[in-house]
Structure 1
Amino acid sequence: MSALVEAVFPRRLGRPFRWLVSASWTSNIGDGIALAAGPLLVASQTDSAFLVALAAMLQRLPWLVFGLWAGALADRLDRRVVVMAANTIRAVVIAVLCVFIATGTVSIGMVLTAMFLYGVAEVFADTTQQTLLPTLVPSADLGTGNQRLQAGFLTANMLVGPPLGAFLFAAGMVWPFAAQVVCVALAVMLVSRIAAPPGTSFTTVRDADSHIRKDIAEGLRWVWQHPPVRTLSVVILVFNITWAAPWGVLVKYSLDHLHMSEVGYGLLTTASAVGGIVGIFVYGWLERHVNLATLIRVCLTLEVLTHGAFALTTTGWVAIAIMFEFGVYAFVWGTVSTTVRQRAVPKEFQGRVASINMICVFGGLVLGQGIGGVIAENWGLVAPWWFACAGAGVTLVLVWKSLSHVAHAGSAR
C-alpha cells in the first residue's frame, strides 16, 4: 500500500500536495455525479427544449461573465481561503436545492437559479484552485502534479461520477445532490489542511487601494505583452471553437451518419475516457523522453488529423477507435498546456492568466457549438468536421514555429 501511495503521491511533492489532490479528486466526484443528475433533474421538471438548452448554457455563462473578476480576486486575496469560501457557497446552494427536492416544492425556476449560482461559485473555486499547485511544488514537478490532478478529473468527473449520479437519481431524486454536498464539503475540509511551504504564501503582495478593474486590465496587458502565453491563449481559443463545432452535433452524427444505436453512442463517448486512462499512464514517460515543443506539436497535429478522420469515416467501430486515440492525446495536451502556462506565468499573475485561459476555453465552446449547428443545418453532419479540420490546420501552420517558444517560456523567467 505504501508503494502505491508513493507512486500516486510522490513524497518529494510534500504533504500539502497530497491534500490538494485529495480535495480535487473528491470535488470532481461530486461534479461528476451532478454531470448526470443535473440534466435528469432538469428533464424531470420541464418538457421545454429551450429550458433544457438554457440549463446547459447556464453552466458556461458564469465563466464568460465572472471569469476575469475571479482571476483578479485570486491574485489579490488568500487563494486557499477563496477556494474554501467558494466551495462552501457551492455546498450551501446544493443543500438548499436538496431541501426543495425533498419537500416536493422544487420547480424548474429553482433548478435553473441553483445551477447559475453554483456555476458562479465554481468559477471562483476552479480559477483559484489552479493557482495553488505552482505554490506547492517546484516548477520541474508541475508536469507530475498536473498529471495527478488531470487524472482525478478524468476518472472521478468523467468515469466514476456520471454513472453513480444516474444510479442515485434512479434511487431517489434528492440522493445525488445530497452526495454532491458531502463531496464538496469534504473538499473544503481537505483544502483547509493545506499549508504553504516554508518561504511561500498563498497571498501575493498587491496594492490594496487599486481597483479590481485595474488588476484585470493589468492581467490582460501582461498576456498580450508576452508572446508565448498569448500564442497559447489563441491556440486554446481557436482549437476549442473548432473542437466544439462538430462535437456539438456528435449525437446526431453518430445516430444519423454512422447509424449507431444509442448504446453505440455511449461507447463512442466512453472510448475517449478510456483513451484518457491510457494517457495517464504514458504521460510520465512522454515528459521524460520527448521534448515539450515536439509533444505540443504532435498533440495539435493529431487534433487536426482526428477531425479529418471523423469526416471521412462511415463506420461506427472506426469512429470508436478514433475517439480512443482522441482521449489519449487530449489528456496529454491538457496536462502539457497547463504545465507550460503555469511555468511561464509569475505567481502574482497566476489567477488572472488562468481566468483568461478558461474564458478562451468556454468562449470557444460556446462559439464553436453555435457555428457547428449552423454548418450542420445547412451543409450536413460531416461539414462541421471539415470546418474543424481546416480551421485547426490553418491555425497550426501559423503558430508552428512559435510553439517552441511556448513550450519553453518558463525557462526564460
Structure 2
Amino acid sequence: MTGLGELIAPRRLGRDFRWLMSAAWTSNIGDGIALAASPLLIASMTSSPILVASGAMLQYLPWLLFGLHAGAIADRVERRMLAMLAHGIRTVVVLGLVVFLLTGTANIAIVLAVSFLYGTAEVFADTTSSTLLPMMVKPADLGVGNARLQAGFLVANQLAGPPLGAFLFAVGTFWPFLTQVLAVSLALVLISRIARQPVPGRAPGSPGRVAEPVEASHVAHEIAEGVQWAWANKPVRTLIIIILVFNVFWAAPWGILVLYATEHLHMGAVGFGALTTASALGGLVATLSFGALERHVSFATLMKVCLSLEVVMHLSFALTTNGVVALVIMFGFGAYAFVWGTISTTVRQRLVPHSLQGRVGSVNMVGVFGGMVIGQALGGVIAQAWGLTAPWWFAFAGAAITLAVMWRQIPNIAAAKSVLETESSEDQG
C-alpha cells in the first residue's frame, strides 16, 4: 500500500497535497454522478434541444458573471476557507433539489435554477481550489500535481460517476443528487484538513511565511490588474484565446450530447453514461503514459497533436451513426483531452506569479466557460434548426479554422519562461 500511495501522491508533494487531491477526487465523484443524472432529469421533463442545452449553459453562465470577482477574492482572502464555504453552499443547493424531487414539486424551471445556483458556487470552489496547488508544491512538480488531480477528475467525474449517476437515476430521480450531497460534504471536510494558507499577495514566496498586512484595494481594481496582466503576457493571452475559441466549438455539440446519444445513436440512458466512461478510460491510459510523454515529447508538439485530434474527433462524431464507434471515438477524446488539460494548466500556472494566480486563473476560466456558454447556446439553436449532427459539423469547421490560424503561436506558449521558478530562486536566496 505504501508503494501504491507513493505512486499516486509522491511524498515530496506533501501532506496538504494529499488532502487537496482527496477532496478533489471526492467532489468529482458527486459531480460525475450529476454529469449523467442532470441532463437525464432535464430530458425527462422536456425534449427541446434548447432547454436541454440550457441546463448545462446555466451552470456555466456564472463564470461570465462572477468568474473575475471569484479570482480577485481568492487573491485577497484565505483560500482554504473560501473553498470550504463554496462547497458548503453547493451542498445546500443540491439538498434543496432533493427536497423538491422527494415532494414531487420539481419542474424544469426549478431544475434550471438549481443549475445556475450550483454553478455560481462552483465558480468560487474551482477558482480557489486551482490556486492552492502552486502554493503547495514546487514549480517543477506542478505537472505531476496537475496530472494527479486530472486523474481524479477522470476516474471520479468521468469514469465512475456517470454510469453510477445513470444507474441511480433509474432507481429513483432523487438518489443521484442525494449521493452528490454526501460526496461534496465529504470534500468540504477533507479541505478543512489542509493547513492554513497565507494570503498570497501579502506574503510572496514561501507558503509558510507569515502574512504581512497591506492596504486594502477595491475589488474592481484588483480584477483590472489581473485582466491587464493576462492581456499583456502574450503566451498567457494566446493560450486563453485558444481555449476560449476551441470551447465554443467543443460545447456546441456537447450541450445536446444526451439527445445525440439517446435519439441519434439510440444508446439509451446507460449508453449515454457509457460515453463519458469511455472518455475517462482514454484519460486513464493517458495518465499512465503522461510521465513518459513529458520526458520525451515537447509540450509544443503535444499541444499541436491534441488540438489536431480535436478537429478529427468532431468530424468523426458528425459522420458516425453507430454507438460502438462513438464509444471508440470518445475513448480517444479522453486520452488527448487529459494531456491537453494537464499541459495547458501547468504552462499557465508556471507563467503566473503567486499573487496573481487567482485572478489570472479566473480570466482563463472565464474564457473556458464563456466559450462553453456561447457554444451550448449555439448548439441548441443549430440542433433545433438542422438536426442533432449539425453541431458536430459546426464544431469541425470552426476548430479546423482556429487551429490553422493559431498553429505558429503554440511553440511560443510552451517555450515561455517560468515565473514561479524565478520566485522560488529569489526566496531561496
Structures share fold, TM-score greater than 0.5: yes
Name the TM-score, length of structure 2 as normaliser: 0.85
In structure 2, the partner of 1:354 is: 361
In structure 2, the partner of 1:69 is: 69
User: Structure 2 CA distance, aligned partners of 1:219 and 1:85?
Assistant: 23
Structure 1 residues 195-243: Cα deviation after superposition (integer angstroms, max 9, x where no partner): 2599315998785431111111111111110000000000001111122
SS of 1:409's equivalent in the other structure is coil
CA contact (8 A) 2:52 2:255 kept: no
For structure 2, the 5+ residue unaligned runs are 199-204, 423-429
Tell me by how many angstroms 1:29 deviates.
1.1
CA contact (8 A) 2:252 2:376 kept: yes
Q: What is the correspondence of 1:325-364 to structure 2 with a 5 Å cutoff?
A: 325-364=332-371
1:38 maps to 2:45: no
User: Structure 2 CA distance, aligned partners of 1:101 and 1:87?
Assistant: 21
Q: What is the correspondence of 1:236-315 to structure 2 with a 5 Å cutoff?
A: 236-250=243-257, 261-262=267-268, 267-311=274-318
CA contact (8 A) 2:40 2:258 kept: no
Tell me by how many angstroms 1:275 deviates.
1.2
Q: Taking structure 1 as reference, are residues 208 and 177 closer, same or farther at Cα in structure 2, changes over 3 Å only? A: farther
**RMSD value, Cα:** 3.0
Identity %: 61
CA contact (8 A) 2:162 2:274 kept: no
For structure 1, the 5+ residue unaligned runs are none
In structure 1, the partner of 2:56 is: 56
Name the TM-score, length of structure 1 as normaliser: 0.88
In structure 2, the partner of 1:394 is: 401
In structure 2, the partner of 1:146 is: 146
In structure 1, the partner of 2:10 is: 10
Q: What is the aligned length?
A: 411
In structure 1, the partner of 2:218 is: 211
In structure 2, the partner of 1:167 is: 167
SS of 1:194's equivalent in the other structure is coil
Tell me by how many angstroms 1:331 deviates.
0.8
Q: Taking structure 1 as reference, are residues 410 and 191 closer, same or farther at Cα in structure 2, changes over 3 Å only? A: farther
CA contact (8 A) 2:28 2:157 kept: yes
User: 197-206 vs 238-247, which deviates more?
Assistant: 197-206
In structure 1, the partner of 2:232 is: 225
CA contact (8 A) 1:34 1:180 kept: yes
In structure 2, the partner of 1:21 is: 21
User: Structure 1 CA distance, aligned partners of 2:318 and 2:169?
Assistant: 36
User: Structure 1 CA distance, aligned partners of 2:304 and 2:340?
Assistant: 10
User: Structure 1 CA distance, aligned partners of 2:247 and 2:126?
Assistant: 19
- Residue 6 of structure 2 aligns to which amino acid in structure 1? E
Q: Taking structure 1 as reference, are residues 114 and 388 closer, same or farther at Cα in structure 2, changes over 3 Å only? A: closer
User: Structure 2 CA distance, aligned partners of 1:208 and 1:154?
Assistant: 42
Q: Taking structure 1 as reference, are residues 203 and 336 closer, same or farther at Cα in structure 2, changes over 3 Å only? A: farther
- Residue 77 of structure 1 aligns to which amino acid in structure 2? V
